[in-house]
Amino acid sequence: MKRKPQLLIAATSSGCGKTTFTLGLLRALRKRGLSVASFKCGPDYIDPKFHALASSPSLEELHLHTSINLDQYMMSSEHLREVYTRHSKAADAMIVEGVMGLFDGATRMQGSSASLAQTLDIPVVLLVNAASSAYSVGALIYGFAHWKPDVQIAGVIFNRVASESHYRFLVEAAEDAGVPSLGYIPRTQLLDVPSRHLGLSLSELERLDELPESIATLIEQHVEVNRLLELCLRPTPPQPIATSQESTQGNLRISVARDEAFNFIYQENILALERLGEISYFSPIRDRALPATDLVYLPGGYPEFYLEQLSANAAMREQIYNYVLGGGKVLAECGGMMYLCRTIIDEAGTSYPMCGVLDNEATMEEMKLSLGYRSVHTAGLTLRGHEFHYSKLKHTGSEDNIAQQHNARGIEVPTAMYRKGNVIAGYTHLYWAEQNILDLWSAQDNEEANA
Q: How many residues does the chain have?
A: 451
**Which residues are 168's β-sheet partners?**
none
- Distance of CA 86 to CAs 59, 81, 238, 242, 301, Å? 24, 8, 9, 10, 27
Residue 277, by phi and psi: left (phi above 0), alpha (psi -120 to 50) or beta? left
H/E element, 20: helix 18-31
Residue 429 contacts residue 264 (beta carbons within 8 Å): yes
Residue 179, by phi and psi: left (phi above 0), alpha (psi -120 to 50) or beta? beta
Give the residue among 399, 302, 287 at the shortest CA–CA distance from 342.
399
Q: Please give the Cα distance from 54 to 210 (Å, whole number).
A: 10
The DSSP 8-state label assigned to residue 243 in this structure reads: P
In the chain, the amino acid numbered 235 is P
Residue 122 contacts residue 231 (beta carbons within 8 Å): no
Catalytic (active-site) positions? 334
